[in-house]
Amino acid sequence: MTKFPKGFLWGGAVAAHQLEGGWQADGKGISIADVMTAGDNNTAREITDGVIPGKNYPNHDAIDFYGHYRDDVKLFAELGLKCFRTSIAWTRIFPNGDEDEPNEAGLQFYDDLFDELLKYGIEPVITLSHFEMPYHLVTEYGGWRNSRMIEFFERFAEVVFKRYRDKVKYWMTFNEINNQTGLNEWGLFTNSGILVKDDEDAEKLMYQAAHYETVASALAVKIGHQINPDFQIGAMFAMGPTYPATSNPKDVMKAERAMQANYWLADVQCKGKYPNWLLRYFDRKHFDLDISASDLQIIKEGTVDYIGFSYYASHVIKADDQEPVDFMTPTKNHEVQNPSLTRSDWGWEIDPIGLRYALNWFSDRYDLPLFIVENGLGAFDKKNADGKIHDDYRIDYLRQHIEQMALAVDIDGVDLMGYTPWGFIDLVSAGTGQMDKRYGVIYVDKNDAGEGTLKRGKKDSFDWFQKVIATNGSDL
Ligand code: P53
């Protein structure tokens, strides 16, 4: 017997910049993803000053979904997808981000893509901003440090809401808006187009940028509902629960604070207000942020309809002997390994029960419908002698996570809308820029060096996932 409701949204997730390619096709502008080079397991992606000839920018061509989407969607239909999560590349619609009028060719591409999906009964699920803002907004305005970003984002949101009013029902505003709370270079750049200068305080910048984004998100929710009251507009968070390393109350408090410092954005977007602990923190730090009374009103009125989140791994944290009274020492310096879990080749801890924990945590705290819009195992796949990829490790990972999802729905009564595994067609990794960090049930013949025919193929996990969807999750 299936534990999942009728109409459960089984699907697959991707993001425009990680699969489309066609980085200059039909008037598209340069996005922040277009100035990030390829890294690997040990080498961070470089953020270059514009596009520099001779460097390797994996997102420029990606897997050329722009040129292959009709055949690809046919394969998605064969897989049985009920929905397809992607994003709209902002730079196809507003190449520089600050134009008055949108680029018609870009709008037409998504019309064609959505028509193709709808032809097979596949529901588009669309993220407005997924690590791909126009690069021009970084060089001219400083990214989300600047409140003018709100107006540019609003224009973009309004144009696409109107254009796809009758084609798209499920939306999300900002992908993993909370990544930047870690304050690393990658998170600040991909979330907010911010490169921290020597005389700037990264933490203060992050709070300001994230605030402007929550205002922009709330305005988008309001405008979207005016354009079509049936729109379901969600937030989207990177969820990785943080556990205390021991039962020492200091570790427990440290873990609680690490969760608060990561998920305050969920308080703002779902409850419509800042948590008290954070307002006190701003005061104590004398941050003097630009947060107006009218902003707070907009935030209150623009809460989201559901919570979308990614789930890959959990974390463990240990307090310092001398934690300050606010427990706000940087999370990254206090992470320890979980002795009861194994890790992926990229060091991500594999924790299926953590997904059930996360579902319960969100559900209790916000009482909103939940949508798992990313989950999966990034792994090196090897072709067998028979030319096929026997990825039983991926099947195991997905099966174990779906089992926990079923328990959350059946035993815990969590209101779960759907499940879209990440990168179900191989694509460019956001964190490392690699092709060989693969998540797909569909193989794409292209490697880290950029070589390959781009030919698509089915891994063993394709047949398995097809069966899972066809049985609404009862045959795992
Ligand atoms: P990659 C880190 C932690 C959690 C989610 O990531 C993350 C990241 C980024 O590394 O990003 C999301 O490709 C993101 C996707 C991304 C996916 O997770 O680094 O929304 O764009 O591709 C997986 O393995």
pLDDT tens-digit series, residues 215-233: 999 999 999 999 999 999 9
| The model scores a pTM over 0.90 | yes
Could you tell me the distance, in angstroms and rounded to a whole number, from the CA of residue 436 to the centre of ligand 1?
A: 14
Q: Residue 133's pLDDT is what?
A: 98
Show which residues are catalytic.
374
DSSP single-letter state for residue 447: -
Mean pLDDT computed over 395-402: 98
Question: Which residue puts its alpha carbon closest to atom 14 of ligand 1?
Answer: 430
Q: What string of DSSP letters covers 206-249? A: HHHHHHHHHHHHHHHHHHHHHH-TT-EEEEEEEE--EEESSS-H
Cα angle: 301, vertex 358, 206; to 5 degrees:
55
* Helical axes 202-227 vs 293-301, angle rounded to 10°: 50
Mean pLDDT computed over 353-357: 98
Question: Which residue puts its alpha carbon closest to atom 16 of ligand 1?
Answer: 430
Cβ of 20 closer than 6 Å to ligand 1, yes or no, is no
Q: Give 87's strand partners.
A: 127
Q: Which residue has the tokens 């063993």?
A: 460
Region of 265 please: left (phi>0), alpha (psi -120 to 50) or beta: alpha
Question: Does 144 score more than 80 pLDDT?
Answer: yes
Ligand 1: nearest atom to the Cα of 240: 4
Could you tell me the distance, in angstroms and rounded to a whole number, from the CA of residue 86 to the centre of ligand 1?
A: 14
DSSP single-letter state for residue 50: S
Ligand 1: nearest atom to the Cα of 429: 13
Q: Per-residue confidence at 98, pLDDT binned at 50, 70, 90?
A: very high
Question: Which residue puts its alpha carbon closest to atom 8 of ligand 1?
Answer: 431
Cβ of 15 closer than 6 Å to ligand 1, yes or no, is yes
Could you tell me the distance, in angstroms and rounded to a whole number, from the CA of residue 423 to the centre of ligand 1?
A: 10
Q: Per-residue confidence at 372, pLDDT binned at 50, 70, 90?
A: very high
Residue 248 amino acid letter: N
Question: Which residue puts its alpha carbon closest to atom 10 of ligand 1?
Answer: 431
Fold classified for 9-470:
TIM Barrel (3.20.20)
Q: Give 134's strand partners.
A: 31
ipTM for the complex shown: 0.96
Cβ of 175 closer than 6 Å to ligand 1, yes or no, is yes
Mutation to probe ligand 1, out of 175, 312, 345 (largest number of atoms < 8 A from CB):
312
Ligand 1: nearest atom to the Cα of 15: 21
Question: Which residue puts its alpha carbon closest to atom 19 of ligand 1?
Answer: 431
Mean pLDDT computed over 338-357: 97
Domain spans of the chain?
A: 9-470
Q: State how far the Cα of 31 lies from the Cα of 176, in Å rounded to an integer.
A: 18
Q: Residue 2's pLDDT is what?
A: 80
- 401 by DSSP, 3-state: which? helix
Cα angle: 436, vertex 34, 152; to 5 degrees:
130
Question: Does 41 score more than 90 pLDDT?
Answer: no
pLDDT of 45-82, one tens digit each? Answer: 999 999 999 999 999 999 999 999 999 999 999 999 99
Question: Does 261 score more than 80 pLDDT?
Answer: yes
β-pairing verdict for 456-458 and 442-444? antiparallel
